[in-house]
Amino acid sequence: MRIGPVLLSLLLLTGSAELAGCGRGAERGAERGEAGPRVLPMRAPAAHRFGTRAHFDTGVLRMRLAGIQPRWPGPRMPVAPPPRQVDCERLKCVALTFDDGPGEQTDKVLDVLAAHHARATFFMLGEMITEGTREFVRRMVSEGHELGNHSWDHASLAGLSPEALKRELGRTQDIVRQVAGVRMSVMRPPYGATNHEVAAVTKQEGLAQILWAVDTLDWRDRNASVVAKRCGDAKPGDIVLMHDIHPTTVQALPHLLDALDHKGFTYVTVSELLGRLVPGKEYLSRPPTDRGLQAKEARPGS
Ligand SMILES: [Zn+2]
């Protein structure tokens, strides 16, 4: 008959111990002979251990949970604008491409492109997609840019075994899918280094190899006006190579877009420029179509 009050007392005691929290902990710590200030936050070590920024980052948590439990809802994916029908046969199209990011400068590159209603293609390194840059990747998608695979860590793919090659491309495909929900269909081999093996693996992986027709050499010549001038020399149908990790390229961008605007260019993604892509195949610029060739042949003196 006296069990009820005993249980109640026990519950009250437990509750008060719980409420006392740190204070009690400190006493227990003191009993173990630990020195004053060091024992104070009895619960703090646990909070400290698990309370890192990464632990409380909801995006990271969601991704980790999604990794453990595939049906767990992942981070909210960006929504791409509807596909455009751009007739590059008739319009002066140019495909601006940015390699080696996403980096600190990428946000600024996106701002300048947005101001010119320009769409571009970003060939990204998987290792550059971090907590600090993944929002830029999502922004690329929601603003209509194309995402491309530039390997995980800029390895020269032509020197790798097929397994290592698949890993370089596969890891980047995976992180881009996790972060932006996009399956890329274009890749650019670092240094433009490609061979039969790279062609075979990219074909298996469903990736077309995108090289370039205009090299701004912005990685070498960190001079905005030189970069702007080289890009301004682009011809219709060209793919232009730049890097969104150099401040000088970001400085050059408004000027080169002004120059190309003046010449009446339309800025398109690589897929918009090239149309239907063949996995494994190399592209440097928009290949002339039959219709384009006929028009060219019909023109006297060309
Ligand atoms: Zn590169």
Whether residues 8 and 126 share a domain: the answer is no
Phi-psi region of 138 (alpha: psi -120 to 50; beta: other; left: phi over 0): alpha
Asked if 234 and 94 touch (Cβ cutoff 8 Å), the reply is yes
Residue 57 included in any domain: no
* CA 204 to ligand 1 centroid distance, Å: 22
**Residue 70 — pLDDT band, cuts 50, 70, 90?**
low
The model's pLDDT over 217-229, given as tens digits with 9 standing for 90+, comes to: 999 999 999 999 9
CA angle 175, 184, 163 (to 5 degrees): 65
What was the pLDDT predicted at 76?
77
Assigned domain for 60 exists: no
User: How far does the centroid of ligand 1 lie from the alpha carbon of residue 94, in Å?
Assistant: 20
| Distance of alpha carbon 62 from alpha carbon 72, whole angstroms | 8
How far apart CA 69 and CA 138 sit, in angstroms, is 23
Mean pLDDT confidence for 22-36: 35
Same domain, 30 and 145: no
Span from the CA of 72 to the centroid of ligand 1 (angstroms):
34
Does any domain span residue 23?
A: yes
Distance between Cα 151 and ligand 1 center (Å): 9
Same domain, 40 and 170: no
127-186 tens-digit pLDDT: 999 999 999 999 999 999 999 999 999 999 999 999 999 999 999 999 999 999 999 999
20 and 106: one domain?
Answer: no
Would you please indicate which residues are annotated as catalytic (active-site) residues?
99, 243
Structural domains in the chain (count) = 2
C-alpha distances out from residue 131 to 54, 103, 110, Å: 9, 11, 18
**Amino acid making up residue 213:** A
Does residue 107 sit in the same domain as residue 34?
Answer: no
Query: Within this chain, do residues 167 and 262 fall inside the same structural domain, yes or no?
Result: yes
pLDDT at 192: 97
CATH code, 198: 3.20.20.370
The verdict on 12 and 120 lying in the same domain is: no
What average pLDDT does this structure show over 267-295? 85
Q: Do the domain assignments include residue 288?
A: yes
pLDDT score at 58: 56
Same domain, yes or no: 28 and 131: no
How much distance in Å is there from the Cα of 192 to the middle of ligand 1? 8
CA of 87 to the centre of ligand 1 (A): 29
| Res 288: pLDDT | 78
Its domain, for residue 237, covers 92-294
163 in the same domain as 97:
yes
Give alpha helix (H) positions in the chain: 3-20, 22-31, 36-39, 44-50, 53-56, 58-68, 106-115, 134-142, 162-180, 196-204, 224-232, 247-262, 270-274, 290-298
Q: What is the pTM of this model?
A: 0.73
Is 24 a residue whose pLDDT tops 60? no
Tell me, yes or no, whether 178 lies in a domain.
yes
Query: Do residues 170 and 46 both lie within one domain?
Result: no
